[in-house]
Chain A
Amino acid sequence: MTNSIEEILDADAIFVIGSNTTENHPVIGTFMKRAVKNGAKLIVADPRRIELAEYADVFLQIKPGTNIALLNGMMNVIINNDLHDKKFIEERTENFEEFKEVIMDYTPDRVAEICGVKEEDIIKAALIYAKAERAGIYYAMGITQHTTGTHSVMSISNLSMLCGNIGKESAGVNPLRGQNNVQGACDMGGLPADLPGYQKVFNPEVQEKFERLWDTKIPSKAGLTIPEIFHAAEKGDIKFIYIMGENPMVSDPDINHVRKALTNLDFLVVQDIFLTETAELADVVLPAASFAEKDGTFTNTERRVQRVRKAINPLGDSKPDWQIIMELMNRLGCNKKYLHPSEIMEEIRTAVPQYGGITYHRIEEEGIQWPCPDINHPGTKYLHKDRIARGKGLFMAIDHRESAEVPDSEYPFILTTGRVLYHYHTRTMTGRVEGLNKLSPRSYVEINEVTANKLGISNGEKVRLTSRRGSIITWAKVTDIVDENVLFMPFHFAEGAANYLTNTKLDSIAKIPELKVAAVKMEKVGS
């Protein structure tokens, strides 16, 4: 997030697109609802009529995969009504003219057609956003998990700059990060082209810095992303995979393909707290300690580095992940020893400029938001203040493009996926909580009642869903929150797993799979 969670309360307008906030980031959802009670306007764009839609001044029930068209349409209205922030654009951005040329093609009537929403609602949403003094955009995987994911994020950035909503409080571009420490895992260089602190592996100065710090040679060629790793494994180019705390056998697209990749290795190590579906395939399983059994830090979605504290001893012979990795590194010839995670943080401070001022002592009572370059720096509440980080904010001219798979006569429905309030990701943890299983016991598919009637499907009945990649059986949930040609499934459940159906087609820049759009067919299964 460019901005902070608490700033939501003072926003004049909130635009939520591709985020079911009240279920996936429930506490942020409460901040949004409070802001609305305080008088903030709310715009919601989502293929499902989610809870927040009930609080919205405008709800745009868009067809999955049409985010860019919608955003372009809103920007068209803003420019044509002369509501853009000319001073901000002039002083702090570049490439506006080229961008504007593309936007002019996205008239509200054309966009209404592409997105399947009313023209007047697009205009209303655009006017609310543009007229607000402080307007924040909040998004999640509904924006990013598309073959156009990166471009969709750029479009959000365009909209935000167009109205000068960057570099001030209660505004900004705010991705809501799904996992407790996905922000931190990125910050720490858990990415194939980035050393810790987003320092590029192919930059010679960076390479030299880390070689000095680690006292060894490091490779300068960018590595492979997860989808590329699995493709390489299936081809036989990758022989050894080490998986720490992930369960791709449920979470990743096209599970049949993941299985082929993981069973085609010479050696698979899985380190986890439970024997997950992925761990079942391993040659060696290493028992890790849970978050309650170790010290450390997580970085939340607003860049706040916060303490994790050891409450109990590791169960059985399990060990904290840092200790396991360190012991393996030691056996593989790297002799660096850390007695406590705080010593690792001391090394992180020297490696990562954004974390330069973060020590366990300073974050004892309250976490600090990076960038925090030195020990006297208070941390950064919101980014791009006074000046956009790259110098000038770059407008990108971006066209709408269809999803990789669109419905046809054989696969007539669009399947989109997501999470529910009562489970988390692959249910490794929540699946072991009795009360949650009572509230959300099994896989299901949301079907519009008109569609259900046509196919003779009743609520609770078994249905078979088939895509070009796989076929599963799940249970029908007849509802009016999805459109007639759209189906929604939570991906949590290993049995009746939505990810047997999903598409592995990637966004060419970020390599994110198009989990939000797959073409499927559906039939009733006789009991």
Chain B
Amino acid sequence: MAEITINGKKYKVEDNITVLEACRKIGIDIPTLCYDDRLEPHAACRLCLVEIVGRGKLETSCSLKVRDGMIIETHSERVIRARKDILNLLFSNHPNDCLTCDKSGDCKLQDYCFEYGIEMGSYVGEKKNYPIDDSNPFYTYDPNKCILCGKCVRVCSELQCTDAIGLENRGFNTKVVTPFDMGLATSKCVSCGNCVAACPVGALMPKKKEKYRYWEINKVRTTCSYCGVGCQMELLVKGNKVVGVEPYKGKANNGLLCVKGRFAYSFINHPDRLKTPLIKKNGKFEEASWDEAYRLIVNKVKEIKGQYGPEAFAGLTSARCTNEENYLFQKLFRAVIGTNNVDHCARL
């Protein structure tokens, strides 16, 4: 254990953790744009700067390990001034379009500018002016909003291991690009959207069918319904509609999703969904009430069971349904109808 002092208070913390991790554990909020606990520290955004008593320059807390006896100031005047400068620099080269930006309400740059009182960028000069890449069916990349924190590149490389994007050029001309800047559609991108989830600003944005503001939606955590990995995700709900999906950090998925889990949700509120029972009459389906449908099924069950016995029945339960539903389905066949002819597509 190491004994450290933060903002005048003494704490005992684990050795071998960073100052940022120590602060987060204690509950002291330090702003970050490029930090992600799943990635190696990058120290690119500089926003997590803190003052270490006895050291000359400010240091990035995400890449600085705690030492016994360390005295740390996280919100000294000097630190605040430095953070304001950084935010000012970032915002000076960022479109001031929060009124119409889809990220508004979920944007870390917006949040920190609010917190640190940056109303507008004071560095007047050249601004980035790049075309937006909207060649991917599911998300767009707007380099003009990019703050070059590099999280997307690192998630794509270190976690997703697809390496579809990288940083090109240096200084003011730095840009996140696909090889030869040919655009996302022709790249190795597999549309997992894990970069989009990592983007702290509005540079990487999902394409939305439905307009919504972040403060209008509820997030409901659930388990993905596609393959057997069991990725954890949050459904973004507006009214009675699922309007988006975001990854959630579960044991099985480490905060990642694939293209299906992340973007293939529009089947949920699709107009083709069955909304009423259907009964076939003269070869054509007609809408029916639940009572009519149940009565017909119950009569048929009784009739066929009376004539042929329970072994004339079979049920296909479903690997797509819940445990509770599968349990009830086999119970229906075994305990109510009286046959073990119940199986599902485990073999397909």
Contact = CB atoms under 8 A, between A and B. Distances in A.
Which of A179, A252, A512 gathers most chain B CB within 10 Å? A179
A299 B252 CA distance: 12
A214 B332 CA distance: 11
Interface string B327-345: 1111111111111111111
Interface stretch (B48-56, B65-73, B254-262): B254-262
Contacts of B333: 242
Interface string A332-351: 11100010010011011001
Contacts of B338: 217-219
B12 interface: no
A192 B342 contact: yes
Contact of A367 (B250, B313, B335, B341): B250
A292 B242 contact: yes
A348 B78 CA distance: 60
A310 B159 CA distance: 30
B268 interface: yes
Nearest to B280: A283
A28 B251 CA distance: 12
B273 interface: yes
Given A27-B231, A188-B330, A145 B325 contact: no
A244 B325 contact: yes
Contacts of A293: 268
B240 A312 contact: yes
B343 A313 contact: no
B76 interface: no
A144 interface: yes
Contacts of A515: 348
Contact of A34 (B158, B224, B343): B158
Contacts of A292: 220, 222, 235, 242, 265, 268
Interface string A306-333: 1111111101111111100111110111
Interface in B263-315: 263-270, 272-280, 285, 288, 290, 293-298, 300-301, 304, 308, 310-315
B198 to A, nearest CB: 14
Contacts of B235: 292, 311
B182 interface: no
Contacts of B192: 26
A299 B334 CA distance: 22
A266 interface: yes
A348 B223 contact: no
A297 B323 contact: yes
A180 B230 contact: yes
Contacts of A367: 223, 230, 250-251
Given A179-B320, A273-B274, A223 B341 contact: yes
Contact of B254 (A6, A201, A210, A341): A6
B331 A25 contact: no
A185 B275 contact: no
Contact of B259 (A5, A217, A240, A422): A422
A294 B334 CA distance: 25
A435 interface: yes
Interface in B181-211: 190-192, 207
A250 B268 CA distance: 21
A6 to B, nearest CB: 6
A192 B340 contact: yes
Interface string B222-236: 111111111110010
B237 interface: yes
Contacts of B319: 178-182, 184-185, 190, 245-246
Contact of B274 (A176, A189, A288, A333): A288
Contact of B331 (A221, A244, A329, A434): A329
Which of B264, B320, B327 gathers most chain A CB within 10 Å? B320
A359 interface: no
Contacts of B263: 433, 435-436
B304 to A, nearest CB: 5
Contact of B344 (A190, A288, A317): A190
A245 B321 contact: yes
A84 to B, nearest CB: 31
Interface stretch (A116-124, A225-233, A457-465): A225-233
Given A25-B228, A266-B304, A328-B297, A181 B264 contact: no
A282 B330 contact: no
Given A180-B226, A334-B336, A424-B226, A344 B327 contact: yes
B241 interface: yes
A121 B270 CA distance: 50
Contact of A30 (B161, B276, B290, B311): B161
B25 interface: no
A347 B323 CA distance: 12
Contact of B267 (A6, A298, A429, A435): A429
B323 A348 contact: yes
A422 B330 CA distance: 32
B138 interface: yes
Contacts of A186: 344, 346
A67 interface: no
B342 to A, nearest CB: 6
A315 B270 CA distance: 10
B318 interface: yes
A322 to B, nearest CB: 5
Interface in A135-191: 144-145, 176-191
Which of A24, A25, A246, A269 gathers most chain B CB within 10 Å? A246
Contact of B326 (A190, A287, A328): A190
A309 B237 CA distance: 12
Contacts of A357: none
Given A185-B344, A251-B345, A251-B348, A190 B317 contact: yes
B229 A5 contact: yes
A218 B206 CA distance: 52
Contacts of B316: 226, 229, 241-244, 246, 248
Contact of B298 (A226, A275, A332, A338): A332
Contacts of B323: 181, 184-185, 187-188, 296-299, 305, 345, 348
A222 B316 CA distance: 15
A63 to B, nearest CB: 22
B158 to A, nearest CB: 7
Nearest to A34: B161
Contacts of B279: 283-284
B322 A297 contact: yes
B322 A341 contact: yes
Contacts of A6: 251-252, 254
A296 B325 contact: yes
Contacts of B326: 181, 184-185, 188-190
Contact of A178 (B161, B227, B298, B340): B227
A185 B222 contact: no
A187 B324 CA distance: 11
Contacts of A513: 347-348
Which of B242, B293, B300, B323 gathers most chain A CB within 10 Å? B323
B332 A329 contact: yes
Interface string A267-279: 1010011110001
B24 interface: no
Given A182-B346, A287-B275, A291-B225, A239 B312 contact: yes
Contact of A181 (B232, B250, B320): B320
A286 interface: yes
When A and B form their complex, which 5 residue pairs have the shortest distance between CB atoms, in order from nearest?
A316-B275, A300-B230, A296-B322, A223-B340, A435-B137
Interface of B: 137-138, 158-161, 190-192, 207, 218, 220-232, 235, 237, 240-242, 250-254, 256-260, 263-270, 272-280, 285, 288, 290, 293-298, 300-301, 304, 308, 310-348
6 contacts: A34-B159, A248-B316, A274-B272, A312-B268, A316-B273, A366-B251
